[in-house]
Structure 1
Amino acid sequence: MTVKVSVVIAVYNPGKYVEDCVSGLLRQSLTPDEFEVFFVDDGSTDETPARLDQLAAEHPHFHVIHQESSGWSGRPRNTGIDAAQGEYVMFHDHDDWLGDEALERMYAYGRANDADVVIGKMAGIGRSVPRGLFRINRPRVTVENAPLMDSLTPHKMFRREFLTEHNMRFKEGRRRLEDHVFVVEAYLRAKSVAVLSDYVCYYHIARDDGANAGFQRFDPVGYFNNLREALDVVEELTEPGPRRDQILGRWLRAEMVERLRGKRFLKNPEDHAEKLYREIRGLLTERFGPGVLTHLAPTQQVVAGLIIADLYEDIRALAAWEVRIKPTGTLDSLEWENGRLNIGFSAEYEVDGVPLTFGRDGERDLLELPLSDEAREALAKQGITLDAPVDDSDVDLVIRHRENAAQYYLPVDSAPHRLDTADGSFRQRITARAVLDPETAAAGVPLTKGIWDLHLRIKSCGWSKEARIGAVHGEDVEAGRLAALTGEPRRLVLPYWTDGPGNLSLDVDQHTGKLERDAVMLVDPAAAVVDGGTVRLPLPLHVAADAGDPVQLRFERKNAGALSADAVVDGRTVSAPLPLEKLTGMRWAVRIGVPSAARGEAKWTRLPVDVVVDADGKGRVIDRHTPPASKRAPKPAPKKQSAPPRPLWRRAAGRLKRALTDQQKKS
């Protein structure tokens, strides 16, 4: 059988971190004869070479190539390309891992769309990954019609014949941005690029020892010299004009301007910050024309203009002010409707806890930035205005898995609003409504079991910042924060407040025991009754009208077993016949059985009520925290009234008598 995919992994002293990489490869849904793996050991000095040799002996489709250390990942990747026999070549770092179906899905998607390059959705655990690129599947795209330039890491599939045709190889030696050079050339030469966004293919990991190569502080001189090599590729493969300016704008934005903003800039030691600034300014004035600046957001254009004008102190002052900008949000409404959770919210930026404001000049909306008169004059000479396109502001609501960082955008309708302030400026607040369907939220498929956190992201004038939602919420929100049964087979989806901040998260398929906590909060024992031979209990969840009777009910007593009852659900009430003859004379705990798709059976949750059937056969419902009569503490006896304290003169006389007695004994 022809090998479909060759996975190439440059390896250097990964230690224990290679095990997650290996496990992901062993779990692949492609059969071992459909893919091959090349671990290229670049002179490791730890136990890794022996571990890789052992793996290769156990798995015939695993291969190990040992070579002298080259100092970086370019040469081992090239060695892997030369050895590969697959139709596609997939590059993989030794401390990351693949989704279980990654190779199969990416290969099939690339074949279906005749793609030279296939980009699988990435999730970042402790690291940033492209977000907007993976909003939707993109079967046939280019740098002009999709944000491909946001993803320049090599963790992609490349058609091997495509690499051979253009003799594409990584730059070798100890260097930075060799992946940028390789990937941008691939983008510009490819007939088609396919972006697969409905499945997380690649998990990009920040090691807990902080030893990822990309996290190490770099020498600005070498770094920006390496960046020039990527710019050379663009200039070789494109003509001057808007297309080239658009592509170059990616490096000006991400590698230069953004390095001089906010916390990212200020966290550098002063000497390194100045050296970084000087190298960026030299490259900007050398290689980037005015047309490239037009592809930046307004605040990014301002920083670029300050760099050109060599106003370092203004850049630092602006960065210090931007650090204080925070996104905030209010959860305004929460309601289940036909198995979907409707989420109403609003968001805006604040500075030091006060809403961020914008200025007005006639019909113009202006950024109110802390700039010196010299800076404003320099920007004006360059044609850079402080216009604020606030009408283009937007907000997203993202749901992200807490353990594996898989994230998906929810459908959102939003509208920006201007709120006038007393001094003639205005603030902007964005109201929005999102729909969360647990059965389609993961790019058309159900959310997997686990905890999913909700994050809002505000985009305005070049700021893009993220915050949790829910800690601030309206008075009516709690009433709508119910669990619901969704999907087929049914499973529980529970919106809940996180401990501490009280942010909104989802527990999908009873990953935690929070349903019982909610039952205590939401089920009023006074609303539970026994009517004749039937018990009626309030439910701590929303059940859709067409859900049938998915909840089970049973009565339990220690050392007496459990008795099940046929439950009937009506709205938020569950009813069941009481087998009185079997319950008589005892007190029974009540549990509801809620479906769990992952378990394949009901998971039982105790309600905050007990059923008591008296000796005469009459039943009643009580709060489960009420102790049995036999164990109730006896009424405490009234305290003895203590005698009033002795008068002061009597106490003084007693001390004097004791002193005289002691003196007599001594004499």
Structure 2
Amino acid sequence: MPYLVECLASVEAQTLAPARMEVIAVDDGSTDGTGECLEEFAARAPMPVTVVRQDNSGGPSGPRNVGLGKASGRYVFFLDADDRLGPEALERMVAMADENGTDVVLGRVEGVNRTAPKSMFGKTVGRTDVHSSRIKFTLSAQKLFRRALLDRHGMRFDESLWTGEDALFTLEAYLRADGVSVLADYTCYYLVGREDGKHVTKTGGYALRFDSARALMKLIADMVPAGDRRDALMVRPFLITLLPQFGPTFLTDDEDVRRHKFELARPLMDAHWTPGVARLLKVHERLRLHLVAMGRPELLLDVVRFVKAKKQAPAVLEKRGTRLYLIYPHFRSRAAGVPDEIYLAAAGEARAFEGYRAAAANTFLRRALRKARRMLPAGGFGSAAA
């Protein structure tokens, strides 16, 4: 409350026939009148509504699993109480899944007082997969899932995770799905920013983010063979979950927290940080994670300060313009010992600089990062082939 009122109104306003819908609302021990609001909604709603009232579980996984266990429809959609649906959302998403025979449908998301994912919604696509699109960059649970897929694989939200549980669930669904649809020409979901800032994803200590990264990396490693496809998927937990722990907040962390973050990161770097992942990142992202793999927090601080200042790193062109290095802190410092290759821009990042020639650059970068792996502490780039 009070966001729930508008959320329920958006359900009641759906153009999908009420006879084709069921609502399962789980009141997870609220103390703000939510339960009473749900009971009132159930009494007047034109579709069947089941209200479950339970003691607070502390996170979203438990309530979602309760709801999923009671669902009987062909599809399920997880709607958070502070968000809302576009009027035609369910009708359009169900039609998309039926037409294309896909197991997951992503409807376009619009942020209200907060940012929303955009890169995967460039155009409507009837059938794609996690390897051929950018859907790995939206792993929230607010998707349409074919229930038979979830039941066939016994999929449920991991109740041991306090954040990132939706990422784990959604990525597994992408990987197991017989096709994914993207509905980009209609706003299906309004992601609402709470005025009190009490979003689950913004609460909890930093250690929870490492738990989330660990679970997501393990899922990818277990389900996708080593190689380019695994590396491309690993970019997501490294970039979105792990790297922010070594961003501006690292400057304000005390020494004990910095040390602990490095300890938590080390097994993840040893197991999953490969040249194939590194080459897919921008230079400053790759450099920070390389320094984490090296166990060099004192060098990382200089890089984070530089990045926080939003300075444009100077560029050096070599080898007749086919190699472009971005001069972040510690470039060619003997004391630091960071290989040149870590500063080598891939073609996509280097094209912005006049005089750069892309020929053979990416191939060279692959070879160079393999060479850089040998300079890390044992296991620092992982054992998997890129």
Which bin holds the TM-score, normalised by the shorter protein? 0.7 to 0.9
Aligned partners of 2:100, 2:202: CA distance in 1, in Å? Answer: 35
| Residue 246 (str. 1) matches residue 235 (str. 2) | no
Distance change (3 Å), C-alpha of 1:278 and 1:120: same
2:365 corresponds to which residue?
none
Cα drift, residue 191 of structure 1 = 0.9
Aligned partners of 2:184, 2:294: CA distance in 1, in Å? Answer: 41
Match of 1:309 among 294, 312, 320: 294
| Residue 160 (str. 1) matches residue 161 (str. 2) | no
Contact preservation (8 Å) 2:62, 2:157:
yes
Partner of 1:196: helix, strand, or coil? strand
Aligned partners of 1:242, 1:206: CA distance in 2, in Å? Answer: 36
Larger radius of gyration: 1
Contact preservation (8 Å) 1:120, 1:201:
yes
Aligned partners of 1:72, 1:174: CA distance in 2, in Å? Answer: 8
2:100 corresponds to which residue?
113
2:284 corresponds to which residue?
299
Aligned partners of 2:96, 2:282: CA distance in 1, in Å? Answer: 33
Cα drift, residue 300 of structure 1 = 1.8
Match of 1:64 among 47, 51, 59: 51
1:379 corresponds to which residue?
339
Cα drift, residue 217 of structure 1 = 3.6
RMSD: 2.5
Contact preservation (8 Å) 1:72, 1:173:
no
Aligned partners of 1:197, 1:375: CA distance in 2, in Å? Answer: 50
Contact preservation (8 Å) 1:118, 1:196:
yes
Match of 1:52 among 14, 38, 50: 38
Aligned partners of 2:134, 2:335: CA distance in 1, in Å? Answer: 32
Aligned partners of 2:344, 2:206: CA distance in 1, in Å? Answer: 36
Partner of 1:306: helix, strand, or coil? helix
Distance change (3 Å), C-alpha of 1:36 and 1:391: closer
What count of residue pairs does the alignment treat as equivalent? 352
1:125 corresponds to which residue?
112
Which segment drifts farther, 278-287 or 206-215? 278-287
Cα drift, residue 320 of structure 1 = 1.2
Contact preservation (8 Å) 2:107, 2:188:
yes
Distance change (3 Å), C-alpha of 1:196 and 1:283: same
Name stretches of at least 5 consecutive residues in structure 2 with no aligned partner: 357-386
1:506 corresponds to which residue?
none
Cα drift, residue 133 of structure 1 = 0.7
Contact preservation (8 Å) 1:142, 1:187:
yes
Cα drift, residue 226 of structure 1 = 3.9
Match of 1:257 among 215, 220, 243: 243
Contact preservation (8 Å) 1:89, 1:157:
yes
2:354 corresponds to which residue?
418
2:217 corresponds to which residue?
231
Query: Which residue type is aligned with residue 141 of structure 1?
Result: T
Query: Which residue type is aligned with residue 225 of structure 2?
Result: E
Q: Deviations over 1:138-172 (max 9, x none)?
A: 22111211112101111000001111111111112
Partner of 1:82: helix, strand, or coil? helix
Q: Deviations over 1:559-586 (max 9, x none)?
A: xxxxxxxxxxxxxxxxxxxxxxxxxxxx
Cα drift, residue 276 of structure 1 = 3.0
Query: Which residue type is aligned with residue 128 of structure 1?
Result: T
Q: Deviations over 1:90-140 (max 9, x none)?
A: 011111111121111111111111110011111223433322111111221
Cα drift, residue 357 of structure 1 = 3.5
Aligned partners of 1:390, 1:243: CA distance in 2, in Å? Answer: 19
| Residue 369 (str. 1) matches residue 328 (str. 2) | yes
Distance change (3 Å), C-alpha of 1:284 and 1:391: closer
Q: Deviations over 1:17-64 (max 9, x none)?
A: 212211221222222222221111112222111111111111142331
Match of 2:14 among 20, 24, 28: 28
Contact preservation (8 Å) 1:314, 1:375:
no
The residue correspondences of 1:69-468 to structure 2 (distance < 5 A) are 69-173=56-160, 175-220=162-207, 222-261=208-247, 263=248, 265-266=250-251, 271-325=256-310, 351=311, 357-363=314-320, 364-371=323-330, 373-374=333-334, 377-380=337-340, 384-389=341-346, 392=349, 416=352, 418=354
Contact preservation (8 Å) 1:75, 1:173:
no
TM-score (norm 2): 0.83
Distance change (3 Å), C-alpha of 1:182 and 1:417: closer
Name stretches of at least 5 consecutive residues in structure 1 with no aligned partner: 1-14, 326-350, 395-415, 420-425, 427-667
Partner of 2:226: helix, strand, or coil? coil
Distance change (3 Å), C-alpha of 1:268 and 1:101: farther
Partner of 1:66: helix, strand, or coil? strand
Cα drift, residue 67 of structure 1 = 1.9
Which segment drifts farther, 281-290 or 86-95? 281-290
Aligned partners of 1:212, 1:103: CA distance in 2, in Å? Answer: 24
Partner of 2:105: helix, strand, or coil? strand
Partner of 2:90: helix, strand, or coil? helix
Query: Which residue type is aligned with residue 172 of structure 1?
Result: E
Contact preservation (8 Å) 2:326, 2:345:
yes
Contact preservation (8 Å) 2:212, 2:241:
no
Contact preservation (8 Å) 1:252, 1:284:
no
Distance change (3 Å), C-alpha of 1:356 and 1:305: closer
Aligned partners of 1:191, 1:358: CA distance in 2, in Å? Answer: 45
1:540 corresponds to which residue?
none
Cα drift, residue 199 of structure 1 = 1.1
Aligned partners of 2:327, 2:236: CA distance in 1, in Å? Answer: 26
Partner of 2:325: helix, strand, or coil? strand
Distance change (3 Å), C-alpha of 1:99 and 1:322: same
Contact preservation (8 Å) 1:305, 1:379:
no
Distance change (3 Å), C-alpha of 1:107 and 1:273: farther
Contact preservation (8 Å) 1:74, 1:178:
yes
Cα drift, residue 265 of structure 1 = 4.2
Aligned partners of 2:346, 2:275: CA distance in 1, in Å? Answer: 20
Partner of 1:24: helix, strand, or coil? helix
Contact preservation (8 Å) 1:24, 1:97:
yes
Contact preservation (8 Å) 2:139, 2:170:
yes
Aligned partners of 2:275, 2:348: CA distance in 1, in Å? Answer: 25
Q: Deviations over 1:500-522 (max 9, x none)?
A: xxxxxxxxxxxxxxxxxxxxxxx
Contact preservation (8 Å) 2:325, 2:344:
yes
Partner of 1:28: helix, strand, or coil? coil
Aligned partners of 2:274, 2:25: CA distance in 1, in Å? Answer: 43
Query: Which residue type is aligned with residue 366 of structure 1?
Result: Y
Aligned partners of 2:279, 2:161: CA distance in 1, in Å? Answer: 34
Higher strand share: 1
Cα drift, residue 418 of structure 1 = 2.5
Contact preservation (8 Å) 1:118, 1:156:
yes
Distance change (3 Å), C-alpha of 1:279 and 1:198: same
Cα drift, residue 194 of structure 1 = 0.6
